[in-house]
Amino acid sequence: MKKRLSMIILLFLGAFLQVLAQTAITGKVVSSDDGEELPGVNVVLKGTNTVAITDIEGNFSITVPSSESVLQFSYIGYRSKEVRVGTQTQLDVTLEPTLEALSEVVVTAFGIKQEKKSLGYAVQDVDSKLIMETNQPNALNALRGRFAGVNITSSSGAPGAGTNIVIRGINSLNPNANNQPLFVIDGIPVSNETDITGGRGGSNFTNTNRAADINPDDIENISILKGPAASVLYGLRAANGAVLITTKSGKSGKTVFNFRTSYSADEVGKRPPMQDRYLRGFNGLYNPNDYRADGPPIPEGTPIYNQWDETFNTGNQFQNAFSFSGGNDKASFFGSLSRLDQSGVLPNSDFDRTTVKISGSLKATERLTIDGSATYINSNGTNPRMGVGGAGVISYASRYAPDVNISDFINADGTPIRYSTQLDNPLYFAQNAFQEETLNRFLGNLGLNYDINDWLSVNYRVGIDQYSNDRFVLTSPTTLIGAGSNGSISEQVIGYSEINSNLLITGRRQLSEDISATITLGNQVTTINSTNLTGSGTNFVIPDFWSVNNLSQYTARSFPTSRSIIGVFADAMFDYKQTLYLNVTGRNDWSSTLPKANRSFFYPSVSMSYIFTETFRPSSPKILSYGKVRASFAEVGKDANPFLIGNYYSTLAPFRGVVGVVRSPTIGSETLRPERTRGLEFGMDLGMFNNRLKLDLTYAIQSSVDQIVPIPVSRATGFTNFVINAGEIRNNIWELTADVAVVRNEKFQWNSILNWSRLRGRVVSLPDGLEQIVFQPETPWVKQRVQVGGRPGDWYGWPLSRVEDPSSPFFGELVIVNGYPDVNNNWNGTPLAEDSYIGNAFPDWEGGWNNSLRYKNFEFSFLFTFRKGGYVFDINRRLRYGQAGGEAPTGAETELRNRLVVFNGVTNTGSVEAPVWEPNTAEVPIGVSSLYGNAFRYRLASEFNGFQEASWLRLQNVALNYSLPGSLLSKTPFTQITASVTANNLWISTPFIGFDPEQSAYGPGSNVFGYVGTNVPATRSVFFGLNFTF
Amino acid sequence: MEKIMKKILILVFALYLVSCDSFLDVNQDPGRITEDQVTVQTLLPAAIRNTASAQFGASQYGVQYPQYLGGQAISQYTPYGFDQIWRPLYTDVIPSLQEIIERAEAQGAFNYSGVAKVLLAMNMMTATDIYGDVPYTQANQGTTNLYPCYDPMQEMYEVHIPNLINEAIEELQRPLPELPSLRNVSNDYIYGGNLANWLKAAYGVRARYHLHLAEKNPSLLANAVADAALSFTSNADDLQLTYTEDIQNPWFSFLGNAVNKIMQPSTFITNMMDGSAQYPGLDDPRLPFYMNSADPDNYIAVVPGQLVGDNPAVNVNLTADTWFSRNVAPLQMLTFAEIEFIKAEAQFDSNRGAAYDAYLNGIRASMAKVGVAESAINAYLSDPMIATGADNLELKDIMLQKYIALYLQIETWTDMRRYQYDTEVYPGLAQPILNQIPGSPWIQRSNIADDEPGTNTCLPEVPNQGIILWLFNN
């Protein structure tokens, strides 16, 4: 391998080496609209292969054979220009920008900016302004509704909560797999881990995804590479796509200072109704110690509390960001300082973050540019335990009796007041079962760019990402869940260190008059080491001493991992008359996590873009001004997690001075191969009506084959999981973006962008012999099941039985057995064990519609996001139904409680084989005990279990900005002052009953979607902000 | 300058590929150990702890069937797959014990293999009594058999369990291994490496086995009596794991110390002991050791089939102070008291006198174990309802007292099913007030373990939990 590589490099260098020595022409290229110098302009001596590129100030120098020589100047986003040299040796050229649609530039792999028109795949980006407008402390949340085919779900409304991002669908069969894309800042990959407390697959805390550490104010641009064709150069870690973040940098000229401040009020918007008519008890009898609300009606005059009002506060976010930037012709710099202080809507929940960043670049010689940046992030957060199970603040609050004042939760002696031994007071619980987190993170990178000659350059960049995340999880012995073990504490120190080294050699040549080529060779070396040291235990010695030093029983555990990846790649881009583009790439990776024999793997990509309007000039360019078709095919390999191969033994905690060992229940195949993600993508970009309407349509098929999955195996094998290559998931994606300049004049501009996508996943195959993979943490009644022919996120359960014979006059009516509705066709002998398909967790389609309006000094924007379909299982609703006794306005159980009713439906008076349907006439009692107790099966129906459709239309973001007119500022030191009012998540329309259905009980870093209701609900925030530039 | 740069570049590139292989050889977990670092000495303590966990797991919810506790939906016969034994048994206990046996036999360390076989025989018998058919001959074969088929209960009883226990008895009497490091069974939490005790335990397991199988072949009662005679002779011999304040008895954290008691003692055991049912007016001095009542004069328990909270008057609980759910309580797997009751039951027809003596010994052992004062024991034993005399001794006397003595042990469920919940043997025994199995039969077996459908393609049919197992179907 070593030899082969060196040879390739030598060949590459040798083939292009030339020595030139003729008359030198120097000059400067500037833009016509603002006179700004244009760096990176291609200057070609017409009819030859001689090329020069302008430097950062737009200067170039090129040698020409005669005064008759013609220089061609081309630059992305500008109209190309030809200039005859003549007698001049100093040549200053002005380029005119082209129409927007033709000139959009996006960041692709390794920070390389490319013209959108040259790309054979879909890339979308958003700039700083849109991100800032939302005031979201987690920049990912600002991206919602702005990208077609990208699903962004905030796991909760808790301060510091993580956000899940899924690009073009789930592509792993493993419910605990991480489906997150690779995050890249300024060309260097960084961690977006979500180190879930307690491991993947069930979380009591919505841990932060590490990309949320980044100060949104530092971000210049975020572009998302969706398919494998786009992300192939980043290698195996980008198999789920890549999110490329470009940060702000200094510009030459006057030093600019910027200060932004904003303050918000955050509230829980949508809340489920609570029953407020019945007292605690059972069977209609009052029992002040019963956890159920099945007592008698609440007598007139009894004070009633809405427990949501009592539990939730108004949260606040106070954001301050200061930055400065500037430079001269040799050097530029950028520095920023930011601080976020947030208090959550629950008691004992807060988050703060401080970031410091400095970056700069220096032109050391004519050919050598050095740049670097360093970022330090510190964050601290506290959040009460939420819990997928019943022990969490929300689930306690939802079951607390309406006549109990939960604010009165503590006795004079400090002991909690609770009325039932099954329910903790939510406010007390929040103070006594929580997680405290501290993060210290350092991100740094250093880059060198050396132009060997006019057409060949070398770029080397090394980046480090290092963090330490300390977590303290406490369950006090005074809580119900802590009592059994007499309190528990876990102190966890997570350490993460990632070093990336990228080397790129780029050559750009004009191969002929019409064809130019850019060839990049690269090498990437990544090493990731993580440590996780946990001291945890139980049994408090001193009741209120909150430290592991206070535990009589504790253990220390260490979970280190390490992973190394080497990649080499080549990328060749050919451009024919700026009309036809062809891009071919190949990458080979070596990963430490695969067996030696299989650890080297190669994968290619090819993409094409054809601007047909260049060839076939439309007769009416006003109607069709621009048209492009594109196609790509790519494959990305993917390695395994560290230490999966083979089998290990673990040690148990010491007992009576002795440590025992047990075999780990997971075994990994010794012949594991890399997993493959393949993507085929077709697209069309159209610019119409002078590019006032831009349409971008994409169809992609993406499949993940040979998946590395820990398949659940029968425990009788001695193991729980066997890690093998198996199974295939295929996603079919339609993406549409429409960008309309509704009004475009000097005074008033209105731009409207619509993103829409439709995604269908299919399970093509499963491991041999495996019929299904079931995810069922909650109840046996509603579960997610992955099976061949199905989709990821398919829900199975027991729906209410209905007459299925279309010829029956009662078709579709409920089947009633013994007066109560039947489930899962149990009436005809279908065993309850045979679940029925009841829906899918993913929406049928989703999207966003953004509008930005500008009138004089006012800017106004609003963003709607929407999704159609997608079923969720509201764990909280199940608890409310089962124990609190139904919801007030909607729960028939509460309205009709303790009455006799006749269910609308039909009963079978014939046989099972030949049913004869008669309208139901049986009167049955309705009540918690009679309905849920006796009608066992009715209680299990998915319709009554919190299983609901979660379509929505949401006003995601509204922002109004006013900039003070320049005339007012002329006597002040300020160049700009902007005041803003912003609102996030202001309004939602949904058939879903409960909290805001956008939530994820299992958090980012998990593949399990659709479980909601246990976390802090999404909040509605209104911000007031000021921005000063001077 | 340019040339130098180029040279440096190539050099750097080449250098950084030199260490390629070692750079990539990092896929070995430093936090865990590998097969070659494992020994029988380190496997045994884990195997013992996990055996206790599995035995506790069998009882944890399962003791609602013999009506020791109640209050969960399981007591209403909703489907239950005994996951709490299934999981530790198949992924921890069987792999550890079989690995000890394999490694010990290869080294001639029959002391270790003998101990492991006693535990394996006991665990497999508990499992087959719960499930009927269980994976055994195809179990623990890792990736070579991903879909292990189940061995019929009949074969477990006629072939595999007797093989294990007979080999255990034989191997525990073999000469000690040559290797000094293996001569002493170390890290033995139960008997501290005392093989004589393990041999008694082995006979005890075989006595239990013969008693069970006597359902099919009554002549085996004599074998049960013979084995029992070679088994435990006092409470000090009990096969049990004693916990500590640091690592507590699982009943302690599950119910004893919990504020939210998800199960409570049932009326069957409570009323039997508080003098309101089978023994009118006779207060069992063990009662306050077994459960705590908010009102010591009035024990109100959960009616089987009732859920916790359904009856607000219920006032009995397991607490951190009641004997079985203390943090330092032993988890009992096979006791001297049980051996005495095996003798009593097995000789009930053949030697009533010996049966009566064993019956009284069993009661005394049970009472002494939990710390009942000698005088209270004597008073109880002299009550006419207890001191029936050999001639008036009835089977129900033995079985009721065994029921009390084996409190919270799943073995009692096997006893009840051997007699098919006969109210002649268990007077006063009634079905739960709510029975979710169609046709309302008595509960006879576990459901298929919850994890199995969907992962194992070789499953036996279990239509419902009311189907009588082979052993009990006579």
Taking residues A757-784, report their average pLDDT. Answer: 78
Q: Do A562 and B26 touch (CB under 8 A)?
A: yes
Q: Do A936 and B38 touch (CB under 8 A)?
A: no
Q: Do B9 and A661 touch (CB under 8 A)?
A: no
* B258 at interface of A, judged by CB pairs closer than 8 A: yes
Q: Which of A662, A724, A785, A796 to mutate to test the interface with B (most CBs of B within 10 A)?
A: A662
What is the β-pairing status of strands A253-268 and A163-167?
Answer: unpaired
H or E, element range at A751? strand A748-765
Query: Considering only CA atoms, which of A63, A67, A30 is closest in space to residue A49?
Result: A63
Looking at mean pLDDT, say which of A295-299, A855-859, B342-346 comes out highest. Answer: B342-346
The per-residue pLDDT for A67 is 77
Q: Do A2 and B95 touch (CB under 8 A)?
A: no
Determine the distance in angstroms separating the CA of A506 from the nearest CA of chain B, rounded to an integer.
14
What is the β-pairing status of strands A285-286 and A350-363?
Answer: unpaired
Q: Do B139 and A717 touch (CB under 8 A)?
A: yes
* Structural tokens at position A776: 């069922």
Q: Do A716 and B138 touch (CB under 8 A)?
A: yes
* B5 at interface of A, judged by CB pairs closer than 8 A: yes
CA B416 to mean position of chain CA atoms: 16
What is the β-pairing status of strands A515-540 and A551-558?
Answer: antiparallel
User: Is the model's pLDDT at A874 over the cut of 80?
Assistant: yes
Domain architecture of chain A: domains with CATH: 2-98 (2.60.40.1120), 796-838+873-949 (no CATH)
The per-residue pLDDT for A913 is 87
Over the stretch A976-997, which tens digit does the pLDDT of each residue have? 999 999 999 999 999 988 888 8
Measured from the Cβ of residue A671, the count of other Cβ atoms closer than 10 Å reads 12
Collapsed DSSP state (helix, strand, coil) of residue B267:
helix
Over the stretch A305-334, which tens digit does the pLDDT of each residue have? 988 999 999 999 999 999 999 999 899 999
Positions of chain B with pLDDT under 50: none
Taking residues A602-614, report their average pLDDT. Answer: 92
Over the stretch A169-179, which tens digit does the pLDDT of each residue have? 888 877 667 78
In which band, very low, low, confident or very high, does the pLDDT at A883 lie, cut at 50, 70 and 90? Answer: low
Query: Considering only CA atoms, which of A944, A943, A945, A982 is closest in space to residue A962?
Result: A982
The CA distance from A237 to A502, in Å, is 15
Percentage above 90 pLDDT, chain A = 43
* Structural tokens at position A800: 């209410």
| Opening angle at CA A307, ends A304 and A311, nearest 5 | 140
* B95 at interface of A, judged by CB pairs closer than 8 A: yes
H or E, element range at A700? strand A693-705
Expressed in angstroms, the distance from the first to the final Cα of chain B is 98
Q: Do B28 and A643 touch (CB under 8 A)?
A: yes
Taking residues A942-959, report their average pLDDT. Answer: 87
Domain ranges, ordered by start, for chain B = 41-239+441-468, 278-418
Give contacts of A712 with chain B, Cβ < 8 Å: 451, 454-455
State the count of interchain CB pairs (< 8 A) between A and B.
Answer: 239
Which residues lie across from A553 on neighbouring strands? A538
The per-residue pLDDT for A21 is 41
Closest residue of chain A to B147, computed from CA coordinates: A714
User: Is the model's pLDDT at A7 over the cut of 60?
Assistant: no
Over the stretch A897-944, which tens digit does the pLDDT of each residue have? 667 778 889 999 988 888 899 999 988 876 655 555 555 556 667 777
In which band, very low, low, confident or very high, does the pLDDT at A730 lie, cut at 50, 70 and 90? Answer: very high
Expressed in angstroms, the distance from the first to the final Cα of chain A is 55
B259: nearest CB among A291, A421, A716? A421
Q: Do A719 and B91 touch (CB under 8 A)?
A: yes
* A486 at interface of B, judged by CB pairs closer than 8 A: yes
Query: Considering only CA atoms, which of A784, A764, A762 is closest in space to residue A773?
Result: A784
Instruction: Give counts: helices (H), strands (E), chain B.
Output: 19, 6
Give contacts of A458 with chain B, Cβ < 8 Å: 5, 9
Taking residues A615-633, report their average pLDDT. Answer: 85
User: Is the model's pLDDT at A495 over the cut of 60?
Assistant: yes
Give contacts of A450 with chain B, Cβ < 8 Å: 5
DSSP string, B60-113: HTGGGTTTSEEBSGGGGT-----HHHHHHIIIIIHHHHHHHHHHHHHHT-HHHH
Give contacts of A722 with chain B, Cβ < 8 Å: 143, 146
Polymer length of chain A = 1030
Classify residue B285 by its DSSP letter: T
Give contacts of B436 with chain A, Cβ < 8 Å: 936
The mean pLDDT of chain A is: 85
Taking residues A60-77, report their average pLDDT. Answer: 80
The per-residue pLDDT for B471 is 96
* A910 at interface of B, judged by CB pairs closer than 8 A: no
Ordered alpha helix ranges (H), A46-168: 100-103, 128-134
Q: Do B2 and A553 touch (CB under 8 A)?
A: no
The per-residue pLDDT for A882 is 60
Complex-level ipTM: 0.93
Taking residues A35-56, report their average pLDDT. Answer: 78
The CA distance from A416 to A479, in Å, is 8
Residues 294-323 in B contacting A (C-alpha not used; CB under 8 Å): 309-310, 312
Give contacts of B253 with chain A, Cβ < 8 Å: 484-485, 538
What angle, rounded to 10 degrees, do the helices at B161-171 and B195-213 form? 150
Closest residue of chain B to A484, computed from CA coordinates: B258
Instruction: Decide if A730 contacts A760 (C-beta within 8 A).
Output: no
Go through A782-797 and write b for each residue having 16 or more CB atoms within 10 A of its CB, e for each that does not. Answer: bbbbbbeebbbbbbbb
The CA distance from A51 to B363, in Å, is 103
* A94 at interface of B, judged by CB pairs closer than 8 A: no
Which CATH code, of 3.30.70.270, 1.25.40.390, 3.30.390.10, 2.120.10.30, is assigned to B41-239+441-468?
Answer: 1.25.40.390
* Structural tokens at position A435: 């997680």
Three-state secondary structure string covering A48-110 = CCCEEECCCCCEEEEEECCCCCEEEEECCCECCEEEECCCCCEEEEEECECCHHHHCEEECHH
Q: Do B145 and A717 touch (CB under 8 A)?
A: yes
* A647 at interface of B, judged by CB pairs closer than 8 A: yes
What is the β-pairing status of strands A871-874 and A1011-1012?
Answer: parallel
Determine the distance in angstroms separating the CA of A453 from the nearest CA of chain B, rounded to an integer.
9
* Structural tokens at position B252: 């302690």
Q: Do A664 and B32 touch (CB under 8 A)?
A: yes
* B253 at interface of A, judged by CB pairs closer than 8 A: yes
Give contacts of A2 with chain B, Cβ < 8 Å: 14, 17-18, 20
A1: nearest CB among B17, B142, B310? B17
Instruction: Decide if A501 contacts A448 (C-beta within 8 A).
Output: no
Closest residue of chain B to A483, computed from CA coordinates: B258
Percentage above 70 pLDDT, chain A = 90
Collapsed DSSP state (helix, strand, coil) of residue A280:
coil
More confident residue, A7 or A799: A799
The per-residue pLDDT for A203 is 61
In which band, very low, low, confident or very high, does the pLDDT at A895 lie, cut at 50, 70 and 90? Answer: low
Q: Do A773 and B454 touch (CB under 8 A)?
A: yes
